[in-house]
Amino acid sequence: MHFDWKNFLFRIYLKLAFPPEFTAEKSIRHQAKVLKKILRQLSSTELGKDLRFDEINSYNDFKNRVPVTQYEFYENYIERIKTGQQKVMTDKPVKWFAKTAGTTSGKSKLVPITKQIMQQCHVRGTFFALSKIHQKDESMRLLSHKNLLIPGGIYDTLDSGITVADVSAIISINIPYIYRGYYTPDIHVQTFSKWEEKIANAVKQISKEDVGTMSGVPTWILSVLQKMKEEFPFKKLTDKWKNLQVYFHGGVSFEPYRKQFEELVGKKDFNFFEVYNATEGFFAIQENLKSNNLLLLTDNYIFYEFIPLDKHSVRERNAIELSEVKTEVPYVMLITAPNGLVRYMIGDVVTFQSLNPFTFKITGRTQEYINAFGEDLLLSNVQNALMKTNQSFDCTVSDYTVAPLYISIEEKGRMQFAIEFSKTPADIAAYEKLLDENLQHENSNYKQKRVNNLALSSLEVIALPEGTFYKWLSSKNKLGGQNKVPRLVNGRNMMEEILAIKSSVQS
């Protein structure tokens, strides 16, 4: 048996060039250097001049002089970049606009991306992930087999020459040429913007390959694998791809999909590895293979700040830097990045699990919560309640969304869970009852409102026909890529649209 020089050298390269070790001491030093570097770069831009970055000499200066921002702050700058103006938000030429999903707010956003940002943040983050998985599993042979990659699409090229695409598609076209041959389907299929066409062409190619790794958002990877199973039947995925070792996932919480993937893969020692790569930057990778905690990448061209969740809605948003965070406190994360997003509220809520290294869980979204009855329901509450309930029933959740049904003269309010099961529980009423009990355990405010049905009646589970969420996303032109189903919606519009689709399917 010959020695595998290719994978051996790749492992050594990853270990030396991208050591995935981030002690607290190193991380705090990293962050101080990253902030100085970004401010120095952006000081020559229109944004930097408007915010007088050249006068900032310390973190306290930065914190006191620069406001916490959201996307609306940048819209005029973005419009100027669209026309081809340079040095507006970045000191290097903007080659791409990364398009956010906009599923929660209903409005997609454009984030300027330069070659430098792509290489030093997004691609660099990818290599940190590869280095970590090699460190934790010495059997990895990523260069011996193909990597199934299903990113988003390329949508448009503006008159200025700037390309509009999902960030995952931009990463695909920036994969070094030396590694391109290790991916399937080919780059043209990967970056198709028409989802049905992408699936059809991808299945033709990947069914013939020896796939060792998979990468992509769980919902869309499942769509491709289900289509492949229809056309090229298999019992277990590892029967077809005997060398399949790891699935790199991100974009949505993996827990609702874990059971489906475990059954589909059919291999006990399989590695599921999470990456936190958002449109705005590559932030974190899974700490190890036995924990779902995410390791903050403090040396990846992003500066982080945090606002305690209970303070984020007040006018004076008093943010803290990484050295001040505490465990078990939910924080709204802010980023400052070379794409010109400064003290930018990305919308994710994180809760630190350890401080050396800095590891955390994503526990919610600032726009994805429900507070219709004073219950302050967070995404982590719902996910944990669902996970515990599913463990007690022989069922599998494919997708779901939650919305309040408001109190009226006729009836008390309640939570509605619209769930698309790939395997429906035999007794929905029993499932509802246990889910409600688990949700009360996860959220004390919800439990208070449920005492003796005083303010809220027990939650309702609405089982949806297969394909309901797919049809809803299709109606919004949001198939594939970074797009996903909002989990918690503090209103009725989406739920009513979902129920209308359900009625049309059943009629």
pLDDT value, residue 104: 42
- Please give the model's pTM, rounded to 2 decimal places: 0.81
- Domain identity same for 271 and 396: no
Domain assignment present for residue 373? The answer is no
Phi, psi for 333 (deg, rounded to 5):
-90, 135
- Mean pLDDT is lowest, of 25-29, 337-341, 368-372, for 368-372
User: What does the mean pLDDT of the chain come to?
Assistant: 89
- In the numeric block, the tokens 């200025």 are attached to 160
Q: Where would I find the H helices in 123-194?
A: 124-136, 167-173, 177-180, 187-190
Q: Give the pLDDT band of residue 316 (cuts 50, 70, 90).
A: low
Identify the CATH number of the domain in which residue 457 sits: 3.30.300
Q: How many CA atoms lie within 13 A of 27 on its CB side?
A: 22
pLDDT value, residue 370: 82
Mean pLDDT of 199-206: 92
Q: What is the pLDDT of residues 403-452, one digit of tens each?
A: 998 876 567 789 999 999 988 999 999 999 999 999 999 888 788 788 88
The residue among 365, 395, 421 that closes a domain is: 365
pLDDT value, residue 101: 64
Assess whether pLDDT exceeds 70 at residue 15: yes
Q: What is the pLDDT of residues 224-255, one digit of tens each?
A: 998 899 899 999 999 999 999 999 998 877 87
pLDDT value, residue 255: 79
- Domain identity same for 117 and 10: yes
Assess whether pLDDT exceeds 50 at residue 103: no
Residue 262, H or E segment: helix 255-265
pLDDT value, residue 358: 97
Domain assignment present for residue 372? The answer is no
- Mean pLDDT is lowest, of 38-47, 89-98, 453-462, for 453-462
Domain assignment present for residue 370? The answer is no
Assess whether pLDDT exceeds 80 at residue 102: no
- Domain identity same for 116 and 58: yes
Assess whether pLDDT exceeds 80 at residue 454: no
pLDDT value, residue 407: 73
Give the sheet arrangement for strand 281-288, strand by strand. Answer: 183-184, 146-149, 211-216, 246-249, 271-278, 281-288, 291-296, 358-365, 344-355, 330-336, 303-308, 320-321
Domain assignment present for residue 268? The answer is yes
pLDDT value, residue 93: 95
Mean pLDDT of 189-202: 88
Amino acid at site 169: A
Domain assignment present for residue 121? The answer is yes
Q: What is the rounded CA–CA span in Å between residue 90 and residue 95?
A: 11
Reduced to 3 DSSP states, what percent helix, strand and coil does the chain have, rounded to the nearest 5? 40, 25, 35
- Domain identity same for 358 and 449: no
The residue among 365, 395, 412 that closes a domain is: 365
- Domain identity same for 217 and 327: yes
pLDDT value, residue 410: 66
Identify the CATH number of the domain in which residue 209 sits: 3.40.50
- Domain identity same for 88 and 163: yes
C-alpha 378 chain-centroid distance: 16
Q: Which residue has the higher pLDDT, 257 or 390?
A: 390
- Domain identity same for 354 and 385: no
Domain assignment present for residue 371? The answer is no
pLDDT value, residue 62: 96
Mean pLDDT of 481-485: 75
pLDDT value, residue 145: 93
Q: Give the pLDDT band of residue 58 (cuts 50, 70, 90).
A: very high
Mean pLDDT of 490-496: 88
Q: What is the rounded CA–CA span in Å between residue 3 and residue 6?
A: 9
pLDDT value, residue 507: 61
- Domain identity same for 342 and 489: no
pLDDT value, residue 354: 96
Mean pLDDT of 175-201: 88
- Domain identity same for 277 and 385: no
Domain assignment present for residue 222? The answer is yes
Residue 468, H or E segment: helix 468-475
Number of structural domains in the chain: 2
Assess whether pLDDT exceeds 50 at residue 105: no
Cα distances (Å, whole numbers) of residue 399 to 102, 222, 275, 402: 18, 12, 20, 11
pLDDT value, residue 253: 78
- Domain identity same for 389 and 340: no
The residue among 337, 365, 393 that closes a domain is: 365
Assess whether pLDDT exceeds 60 at residue 1: no
Q: What is the dihedral of CA 21, 114, 485, 128, to 10 degrees?
A: -20
The answer to whether 101 and 483 are in contact (CB under 8 A) is yes
- Domain identity same for 348 and 445: no
Assess whether pLDDT exceeds 80 at residue 313: no
Q: Which domain holds residue 292?
A: 1-365
- Domain identity same for 172 and 215: yes
Report percent pLDDT > 90 for the chain: 63
Domain assignment present for residue 44? The answer is yes
Q: What is the pLDDT of residues 344-383, one digit of tens each?
A: 999 889 999 999 999 999 887 776 778 777 777 888 889 8
Mean pLDDT of 6-35: 94
Q: What is the dihedral of CA 183, 4, 130, 100, to 10 degrees?
A: 0
